[in-house]
């Protein structure tokens, strides 16, 4: 298994979480690292008949390649005094994907989060609750980071379309670089006024202590709308519409799109809720 590796702290224990193919696996080895004879606890748990039944049900739901006949044989032996089963044996015999043994730097026994929570409950109900809490915190942080990445990149989606339209239709070849920059800034502020109701300078004057800009302060819905307005303004420029008329059309579009976007829970979630 390879993929993204992260750590969460649960009651002082640093526990590795691996993400592979959008599935999260949690280190059982890390969970018991500070417990005396902790590694033996994993195999003891695995030999438990209730554990075997739970693992079998999980695999039958999520693993098309699960060896059910081999599993039935293991289940029938579980609970007997002579019954012995290691993680490696379980994987080799059943084709398990829910619990695995991994070698290398991040080696040890890993289990899908569903199974890891079950193991944590077997260790201690209190430990399980803290594990779930920290795991959820990790996922919430990932979601916030995803939202930031989308917010940061949305304005780049149609930037080239917009600037190419400005260059082709609004910039005469004899202009100086300073004059060209003024035209680009004017068109950027056209979008700012249409969406935010103010220019970049007006926003800076209203927020003197903020080191960002008007678009850095935008939420995900506003940046989705802004990307759409860039494409639409490029189309209006190519049609030869004057700036005053384009502003009216863009503002009307922005009002309609923001109503729809703010009602979309998926977009709202990227911002952790509406502002």
CA distance 238 to 68: 64
Specify whether the CB–CB gap between 18 and 100 falls below 8 A: no
Q: Distance between CA atoms of 10 and 131, rounded to whole angstroms?
A: 6
> CA torsion sign, 240 to 244 to 246 to 248?
negative
Contact 226/237 with Cβ under 8 angstroms?
A: no
Over range 107-121, report the average pLDDT: 91
Q: Which of 163-167, 183-187, 219-223 has the lowest mean pLDDT?
A: 163-167
pLDDT in tens, 52-66: 999 999 999 999 999
CA torsion, points 183, 185, 191, 194, in degrees to nearest 10? -90
Rg over alpha carbons for the chain, rounded to the nearest Å, is 28
% of the chain residues with pLDDT over 90: 32
pLDDT at 274 over 50: no
Nearest to 25 by CA among 126, 96, 129, 123: 96
Helices and strands (H, E) in the chain, number of each type: 13, 5
**What letter does residue 264 receive in the DSSP assignment?**
-
Q: Where are the domains of the chain?
A: 4-140, 158-270
Q: In the structure, what pLDDT confidence band is assigned to residue 83 with cuts at 50, 70 and 90?
A: confident
Q: What is the pTM of this model?
A: 0.54
CB 198 within 8 A of CB 192: yes
d(CA 8, CA 113): 13
Better pLDDT: 146 or 36:
36
Query: CA torsion sign, 117 to 119 to 125 to 128?
Result: negative
**Residues near 266 by beta carbon (within 8 Å), at least 6 away in sequence:** none
């Amino acid at each position: 298994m390879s993929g993204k590796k992260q750590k969460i702290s649960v009651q002082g224990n640093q526990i590795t979480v691996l993400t592979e193919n959008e599935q999260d696996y949690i280190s059982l080895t890390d969970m018991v690292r500070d417990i005396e004879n902790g590694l033996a606890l994993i195999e003891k748990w695995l030999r438990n008949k209730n554990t075997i039944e739970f693992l079998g049900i999980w695999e039958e739901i999520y693993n098309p390649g699960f060896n059910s006949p081999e599993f039935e044989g293991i289940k029938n032996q579980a609970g007997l005094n002579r019954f012995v089963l290691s993680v490696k044996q379980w994987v080799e015999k059943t084709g398990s994907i829910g619990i695995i043994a991994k070698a290398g730097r991040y080696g040890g026994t890993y289990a899908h989060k569903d199974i890891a929570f079950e193991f944590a409950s077997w260790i201690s109900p209190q430990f399980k609750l803290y594990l779930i809490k920290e795991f959820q915190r990790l996922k919430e942080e990932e979601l916030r980071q995803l939202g930031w990445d989308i917010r940061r990149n949305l304005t780049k989606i149609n930037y080239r379309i917009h600037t190419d339209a400005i260059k082709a239709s609004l910039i005469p070849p004899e202009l100086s670089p300073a004059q060209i920059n003024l035209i680009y800034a004017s068109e950027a502020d056209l979008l700012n006024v249409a969406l935010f109701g103010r220019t970049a300078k007006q926003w800076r004057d209203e927020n003197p202590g903020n080191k960002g800009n008007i678009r850095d302060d935008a939420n995900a819905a506003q940046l989705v709308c802004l990307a759409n307005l860039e494409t639409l303004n490029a189309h209006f420029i190519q049609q030869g519409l004057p700036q005053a008329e384009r502003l009216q059309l863009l503002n009307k579009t922005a009002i309609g799109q923001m109503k729809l976007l703010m009602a979309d829970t998926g977009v709202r979630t990227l911002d952790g809720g509406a502002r």
